[in-house]
Amino acid sequence: MALLEIKDLSIQFSTDEGVLHAVDNLNLSVDQGKTLCIVGESGCGKSVTARAIMGLLPIPPAKITSGSVVLDTKDLLGLSEKEMRALRGNDIAMIFQDPMTSLNPVLTCGYQIQESLHIHDKITKKEAKEKALALMKQVGIPEAEKRFSEYPHQFSGGMRQRVMIAMALSCKPKLLIADEPTTALDVSIQAQILELLGTLKKSSDMAMIFITHDLGVVAEIADEIIVLYAGTVAERGTTKDIFNHAAHPYTLGLLESVPHISKEQEHLTVIPGTLPDPTDYQPGCRFYERCTFHSDLCKKDPVEEEITPGHRVACFHYRLKDQQY
């Protein structure tokens, strides 16, 4: 059975311009020990989904109009704030994109790691400190004893992200949500953090939802991938399905519009146009206007079709993929 199962999740925001459809009828599940990557461009609803799982959406203006988020047979959307607090940091933990703004600047990093242990595990301060130090060593912070009493501004970006990871891991969560954890970091530091997350994954059976816009990072870390476009799923499958047998025109376009370092490319393929206005979606496929294959058929809402077991595509024309995109 899946560890986390999201069914028919729809999230709206009420804005001055009208109702914004952030996520529409999203289904997904994550198994224990697996990494699910949610890929998409800005505004596709990937971060909103993560926040909905954590119960961190500002309600209002956000509104969950339908669906369920079930973790281990418990529906998270029906929980009270108190029950959710007990779960957050304990069963599910989250790391954010910008480690500086998600750490408290006036508390030492060591204190912030030990705080969650103290709250959830009901252990003495001394034990909590020992555990916090062990965590800092585990995530590769050198001179942990000395750095325990330093403040976030004394840490570099990569080290701060390690502190965030140590905090997230402190209560051995079943599910870790990482929302663009390496986007703000330099490539050489990003490689360190990805390596760390990879080894942590191997040494425990924690599930991970990894949110990113960078297809390169996805290729390195994912077991399964969901490609989101304008709040709906365009394509889903294993890493191999997506990178070797991509079928949705959007996925194909994304893969080809990225410059490769080891490949000779004359010209970058471009997805024409821009994202549709999320307050004014037309019925039918949301990729319609930017898609080279579109036909009248696409004015109906596409449903996800299974091409091979586990590989699903929401497109009427996916078979055209062998033609030149």
Partner 1 sequence: MLLTVKNLKKYFPQKSGLFSKPALPIKAVDDCSFTLEKNEVLGLVGESGCGKSTAGRCILRLTEPTAGSIHFDNRDLLALSSGELKDIRKTMQIIFQDPLSSLNPRMTVGGIIEEPLIVHHRGSPIERKEAVAALLDKVGLPQSALNRYPHEFSGGQCQRIGIARALALKPQLIIADEPVSALDVSIQAQIINLMIALKEELSLSYLFISHDLSVVKHISDRIAVMYLGKIVEIGPAQQICLDPLHPYTKALISVIPEPSLHRSQKKTILQGDIPSPARPPSGCAFHTRCPVAKEECKKREPILEEKRSGRSVSCLYVNKKV
| Closest to 312 measured CA to CA, from 256, 242, 254, 261 | 242
Contacts of 78 (CB under 8 A, 6+ apart): none
Dist CA 61 CA 51 (whole Å): 14
- Closest approach of Cβ 217 to partner 1, in Å? 5
Residue 308 has a CB neighbour count (10 Å cut-off) of 11
Residue 96 per-residue DSSP state = -
Single residue of 12, 49, 114, 190 touching partner 1 by CB under 8 A? 190
CA 4 to chain centre: 14
- Interface with partner 1 includes 220 (CB under 8 A)? yes
Within 36-55, the residues that bind partner 1 by CB under 8 A are 41-42
Dist CA 88 CA 325 (whole Å): 44
Nearer to partner 1, 117 or 225 (CB): 225
Within 150-179, the residues that bind partner 1 by CB under 8 A are 156, 158-159
Question: What b-and-e string marks burial along 252-288, b requiring 16 or more CB atoms within 10 Å of the CB?
Answer: bbbbeeeeeeeeeeeeeeebeeebbebeeeeebbbbb
Within 99-158, the residues that bind partner 1 by CB under 8 A are 156, 158
Single residue of 186, 280, 305, 306 touching partner 1 by CB under 8 A? 186
Nearer to partner 1, 132 or 222 (CB): 222
- Interface with partner 1 includes 324 (CB under 8 A)? no
Total residues at the site for partner 1 (CB under 8 A)?
45
Single residue of 32, 68, 204, 239 touching partner 1 by CB under 8 A? 239
Residues that bind partner 1 (CB under 8 A): 41-42, 156, 158-159, 186-192, 194-195, 213-220, 239-240, 243-244, 253-255, 257-262, 264-265, 267-272, 274-275
